Structure 1
C-alpha cells in the first residue's frame, strides 16, 4: 500500500507544480476572471485544491476543528500556489516516513456536513489524490476559457514517463 501511495503523492506534487508553473504566468485578469465551473475562477479553484489537501491533513492529524485556509485567503496567486505546494510536499514527506500500520490505521473524522466516519488513512489518501486529479482536469478547462493555449500535461502516464 505504501508504494502506491508514495507514487500518488509524488505524482500529486509533480502535477500540482506543472499547474502552478502555468498559472503563475497569467495576468490578474485571467486568474480572477469569473468562469462557469465548480469554482468561479482559477484563483478559487487553486484555493479549493489547497483547502482539500489541508483539511485531510488536519483530519489525519486528528484535529477536531478543521479549518479551510483557502476560504479566507486573499493573498497573491503566487502565495496561494506556495501554500498548495507546501501542503502537497508535506503529504509526500509524511507518507515517505509512515509505516504500513499507520497507513492502514482507522481514524475517525467528520466531513463538512459534520457526519462522522471511521476508515483507514490509506482510503482517505486515495480519495484525496483522486480528488485532486479531478479538479486539475477542471482547472485545465478553466485555463482554456481564459485563453491559455499551452497547457501542461498532467496525465499520470506522463509522470511515469518522467521517472
Structure 2
C-alpha cells in the first residue's frame, strides 16, 4: 500500500510541476490585459490546490484544523506555484517517513462545517490527490478556453510512462 501511495504522491508532484512550468511560459500581461477574470480564477484554483494539500497534510500530522489555511492569493503566480510544489514535496516526504501500518490507520479531524470525522489515512491521501487532479483539470480546461491549447497530457498513466514505471498491486 505504502509504495503505491507514494507513487501516486510522486505523480501529484510531477503533475503540479508540469502545470506550474506550463503556466510560467504564459505571458502574464497578455492574460491580465485581455482575460483578467480567467486569470484570477485560475490563480484562485491553483491557490486552492495548495491550500487543500496543506490542510490535509496538517490533519494527517495531527493538527486539528477545522478550516482551510486561507492562504494569501495576493502573491504572484510564481510564488503560488512555489507553494504548490513545496506542499506536494512535503506530502511525499511525510508519507515516505511513515510505517506501512500508518496507511491502515485513521485520522480524526474536524471538517469545514465543524463536524468531527475519522477517516482511513490511505483514503485521505487518495482524496487529497484526486482533489488536486480535479482542479488541475479545471485549470487546463480554462486555459484551453482562452487559447492555450498546447499542454501535454498530465494524467497518471503518462507519469508512469515517462518515469518508465508500471502500475503494481
Contact between 1:49 and 1:132, CA under 8 Å: does it hold in 2? yes
The answer on 1:124 being equivalent to 2:124 is: yes
Within 2, Cα distance between the matches of 1:155 and 1:65?
30
Q: Partner residue of 1:20?
A: 20
Match of 1:34 among 30, 34, 37: 37
Superposed CA offset, 1:4-24 (max 9, x none): 101100100111111000111
Cα distance in 2 between the residues matched to 1:106 and 1:16: 26
Q: By how many angstroms is 1:160 displaced?
A: 0.8
Deviation at 1:26, TM superposition (A): 1.9
What is the number of residues matched between the two proteins? 160
* Ranges in structure 2 where 5+ consecutive residues have no aligned partner: 164-169
**Runs of 4 or more consecutive aligned structure 1 residues displaced over 6 Å after TM superposition:** none
* Closer/same/farther in 2, CA of residues 66 and 126 from structure 1, 3 Å limit: same
Moved more, 26-35 or 88-97: 26-35
Paired residue for 1:136? 136
Give the CA RMSD over aligned residues. Answer: 2.0
d(CA) in 1 for partners of 2:36 and 2:67? 26
**For 2:94 and 2:16, how far apart are their aligned partners in 1?**
17
Contact 2:66 2:114 (8 Å CA) reproduced: no
- Corresponding residue number in structure 2 for 1:51: 51
TM-score normalised per structure 1: 0.89
Q: State the 1:27 CA deviation.
A: 2.8
The answer (yes or no) to whether the contact 2:67–2:111 under 8 Å persists in 1 is no
Give unpaired runs (5+ residues) of structure 1: none
Q: 1:73 to 1:138 in 2, by over 3 A?
A: closer
Deviation at 1:33, TM superposition (A): 2.6
The aligned counterpart of 1:82 is 82
TM-score with structure 2 setting the length: 0.86
Q: Which has the larger radius of gyration?
A: 2
Q: What's the secondary structure of 1:34's corresponding residue?
A: helix
Question: For residue 110 of structure 1, what is the aligned residue in structure 2?
Answer: 110
